[in-house]
Structure 1
Amino acid sequence: MRVLVTGCDGQVGRSLVERMPANWEVVALNKRQLDITDRNAVLKTLQDIKPKYVINAAAYTLVDKAEDEPSKCFSINRDGARNLALGSQKFNAVILHISTDYVYSGRKNEPYIEFDTPEPLSVYGKSKLEGELAIAESHSKHIIVRTSWVFSEYGSNFVKTMLRLGSTHQELSIVDDQFGGPTYAGDLAGALLSIIDSLENGSLGYGLYHFTGTPAVTWRGFADTVFKQAIKNDITGRIEIKGIATSQYPTKAKRPSNSCLCCDKIYQTFSIKPSDWKSALNDISKYME
């Protein structure tokens, strides 16, 4: 079985490639090898490769920078997603696509379910929502997975940033009024591969799903756990973490105050449990630069 992975240099892309079953034929392309905003290049690639599944791990994820370059953000997150969906439809491939908790406003007082009305606050969130809609309109055989607060051994992410800052600071101020579910990229990759297994075994569960880590936590709570593990493993000394309000840490892009996602649907359909993000931090040394 042939699977195409776009954005293979990113956190989820790298996690996917290293977890692919040995009997699958994997074609992994980075943004230099395939510009998903180039429709002709996408169509030619799909025609040449003829994958059964396309996993789109390519995305523009610079949330604050997107406020200054919306055209680039939408080109990748909306138009690139549409190109892949149209190509998948033309060549009879199933497309799996990763979206975000930032499609929501955060005003709800409980976890969001898949059918709650999106209301993104940022350019990034709007671009990801329009990417979802473009895929759904272009190809019926799609899986869209919204996730949140992704971290891994690769690239740039919150865990690696905390460890880097912890090596030079004795005190940090971290936002303590935004709630979400940290998600280990390896677990997200595993969920996507499990979905493919289910589809191969006859499941017709196309559509939209949530997959994040539990339990929900604030960024300050997330940082607390990171440093507890770092201290336990003699990576850092004790660090004082001060919780602050979002208003004390202004950013160009607005973030939802509550981006917790309910993961019941993906469990009921595919028997996939939420990411155990705390367990993913047990070997904290692998996140060191």
Structure 2
Amino acid sequence: MKVLITGGEGQLGRAIYEKMKNTSDVIKLSKEKLDITKQQTVYDVFQDVKPDYVFHTAAYTAVDQCEESKTKAFQVNSIGALNVANASKSVGSIMIYISSDYVFDGTKSTPYEVTDSPNPKSVYGLSKWLGEELVLNTIPESYVVRTSWLYGHGGKNFVNTVLKFATSQKEVKVVSDQIGSPTYVNDLVDVLLQLITKPYGIYQIRNDGQCSWYDFAKAIYEKVGTDSNLVQPITTKEYGAVAPRPQFSILNLNKLEASNIKIPRRWDIALRSYLTKEGFHDCWSKSKTNYEVL
């Protein structure tokens, strides 16, 4: 099986590569090696590689920057996805497009179903939703996978950011009124590899359970042995982010269960596994220093 990974140097792309490299012919391409916004470049690469499967993980994920760089957001997340879909279709590749919980507006109080109508509040969310539509309309024999609050090894993410503050024993303010589900990339990859044997369409994958960003940060502090009281709650309004975020973005996992795929483990158990692999132990003293805001 020949596999192509776009965004191959991102945290998800690397995790897919590590999982598949010993059993498949896997090619991971960074944005420097494959600029998905260039249609002819993408087409040429696909004609050369002719992959059986394409994991399209490349994306512009800086949510606040997307509001200020709208053209780039749509070029990468929408047109880029279309270019990959067209190239996949031209060589008969099966495409797996990674989308986001941000396609929803966050106004529900129950988990979002696969069939719920997206209503993104941000440019980022809108660009990912448009990417979904372009992929599915271009190549119905594909998978759209929505996930949430993703973190992995070696990437720039919430967990690694909070760890820097925790290991320095700093106080930090974290938003407490946005509810979602953290997703460990290794667990996401395990499900993705099961998914490609199932019927095409839209799926949602996350770790089990839910929490706020504040709860998530406190758990990180606790699991590395730092006083979790150093984490202080702040409202979304007080934080003042440029881009609006969904206040509730839990993704319903019924379709996974209906497909006989086991729901990934609880987010807090996955977090402990991640931290263990990163070499963290309960070894930091509990003290307060200066104040930081996330």
What is the SS of the residue equivalent to 2:73?
A: helix
> Would the aligned equivalents of 1:263 and 1:274 in 2 still touch at CA under 8 Å?
no
Per-residue CA deviations over 1:57-105 (Å, capped at 9, x if unaligned) read 1000000011110101110100010011111111111000100000000
Aligned partner of 1:61: which letter? T
Is residue 271 of structure 2 the alignment partner of residue 281 of structure 1? Answer: yes
> Would the aligned equivalents of 2:146 and 2:204 in 1 still touch at CA under 8 Å?
yes
Which residue number in structure 1 is paired with residue 247 of structure 2? 257
When normalised by structure 2's length, the TM-score is 0.91
Q: In structure 2, what is the Cα distance between the partners aligned to 1:141 and 1:47?
A: 19
- After TM superposition, the structure 1 = structure 2 runs for residues 155-234 of structure 1, keeping only pairs within 5 Å, are 155-196=155-196, 198=197, 203=198, 205-231=199-225
Change (3 A) 1:286 1:104: same
Which residue number in structure 1 is paired with residue 65 of structure 2? 65
When normalised by structure 1's length, the TM-score is 0.92
Q: In structure 1, what is the Cα distance between the partners aligned to 2:18 and 2:227?
A: 33
| 1:267 Cα offset (Å) | 2.4
| 1:238 Cα offset (Å) | 5.3
Q: In structure 2, what is the Cα distance between the partners aligned to 1:68 and 1:56?
A: 24
The alignment yields a C-alpha RMSD, in angstroms, of 1.6
Per-residue CA deviations over 1:194-219 (Å, capped at 9, x if unaligned) read 222x2xxxx4x100011012211001
| 1:180 Cα offset (Å) | 0.2
Q: In structure 1, what is the Cα distance between the partners aligned to 2:154 and 2:252?
A: 26
| 1:190 Cα offset (Å) | 1.5
Which residue number in structure 1 is paired with residue 79 of structure 2? 79
Q: Which runs of 5+ in 2 are unaligned?
A: 281-294
Q: In structure 1, what is the Cα distance between the partners aligned to 2:204 and 2:77?
A: 18
| 1:168 Cα offset (Å) | 3.3
Change (3 A) 1:89 1:29: same
Aligned identity (percent) is 38
Q: In structure 1, what is the Cα distance between the partners aligned to 2:238 and 2:252?
A: 29
| 1:170 Cα offset (Å) | 3.6
> Would the aligned equivalents of 2:78 and 2:130 in 1 still touch at CA under 8 Å?
yes
Q: In structure 2, what is the Cα distance between the partners aligned to 1:18 and 1:185?
A: 11
| 1:240 Cα offset (Å) | 2.2
Aligned partner of 2:35: which letter? D
Q: In structure 1, what is the Cα distance between the partners aligned to 2:237 and 2:23?
A: 51
> Would the aligned equivalents of 1:178 and 1:219 in 2 still touch at CA under 8 Å?
yes
What is the SS of the residue equivalent to 2:63?
A: coil
Which residue number in structure 1 is paired with residue 15 of structure 2? 15
Which residue number in structure 2 is paired with residue 241 of structure 1? 231
Per-residue CA deviations over 1:191-246 (Å, capped at 9, x if unaligned) read 111222x2xxxx4x100011012211001111111111110xxxx45542222211
> Would the aligned equivalents of 2:177 and 2:212 in 1 still touch at CA under 8 Å?
yes
Which residue number in structure 2 is paired with residue 109 of structure 1? 109
| 1:255 Cα offset (Å) | 0.2
> Would the aligned equivalents of 1:121 and 1:254 in 2 still touch at CA under 8 Å?
yes
> Would the aligned equivalents of 1:170 and 1:238 in 2 still touch at CA under 8 Å?
no
| 1:282 Cα offset (Å) | 1.9
